[in-house]
Every structure is written in C-alpha cells, then in structure tokens.
Amino acid sequence: MEVEWTAEALVAWAYRAFVGLTPVANDDELTTFARAHERVAVAFVGAMCDADAQQIHLAAAAQRNKTGIALPIAITANASLAVDILPPLLPRPAVLAFSGGRRGSRLPFPAHLNFSESELTPWLDGLLQPKLSREAWPLQDEL
C-alpha cells in the first residue's frame, strides 16, 4: 500500500516521531490535546519549520533527555489561535503552559527571557516540578 504524504502531514509526523511535539492547527485540536494531559505547554511560532520552532524543538529534546520525562508540548503556527489565547502584551513567539485543561490556569514563558533553547529548557523543567515553578511564577487563573 503506497501512501502519499502532504508536506503538512510529513512535518506533523516528524515533530511527533523525533521530538514528541504535537502540532495543533485549531482550537478544537488544542482543547483535545490539553484535556488529555494534566499539564501541557503550547508553543506559538511563526511557521512550523522556522528558527523559533527549532528552539522549542531543541528545548523539548534537551528537557526530555535531562529529566527522562517528556512534558506534553503542542506547537502551532496558527496566528489567529495565538491572538485568541495569548495575553495581549505577550510577544511572539511564545510558550504558554496550561494546567487543568484548555480553560484552566495559565503560565506564560516570561517575556524578559530570550526565546532560546538555553532559556526555554529550564522553564520547561520547572513545569515538571509544579511546587517549585508555582513559587517562581504563580499560575494566573483565567478571568
């Protein structure tokens, strides 16, 4: 059986297979992803294969290799989804952590840090240790 891959399907497969990132295209996919896990991170990038996507890819791989635990991370290049979900003043690219599902508590990657593997990795590590990360950056409940 021969399967024809679209570019989008191939990129999605590569993200899942090699790094464990889950591409989401819309709000329904993001909601389903967030409901499936207690705590997740969602990366909002300009394009699926741009330099910012590479930084979250590298950080996710480093975090997984360091801790042996893969934090569930979704990635999207959907600009309208970013506008709907991200706090208005949060710069893009951005990463937002959810606890308790899509409408639960949120924690943005601090805007004063560089969107780089070296700064993303410890932040992702902190999400795996809720007590420590809550003390450093308290989750902000959605109003």
Q: How do the domains of the chain map onto residue ranges?
A: 29-134
Is residue 85 over pLDDT 90? no
Query: How does residue 18 score in pLDDT terms, banded at 50, 70 and 90?
Result: confident
* Homologous superfamily in CATH for domain 29-134: Glutaredoxin (3.40.30.10)
User: How confident is the model at residue 130, as a pLDDT?
Assistant: 58
Comparing C-alpha atoms, which of 53, 40, 135, 34 is closest to residue 96? Answer: 40
Q: What's the whole-number average pLDDT of the chain?
A: 83
Predicted TM-score (pTM) of this structure = 0.81
Is residue 45 over pLDDT 80? yes
3-state helix, strand, coil in the chain (%, to 5): 45, 15, 40
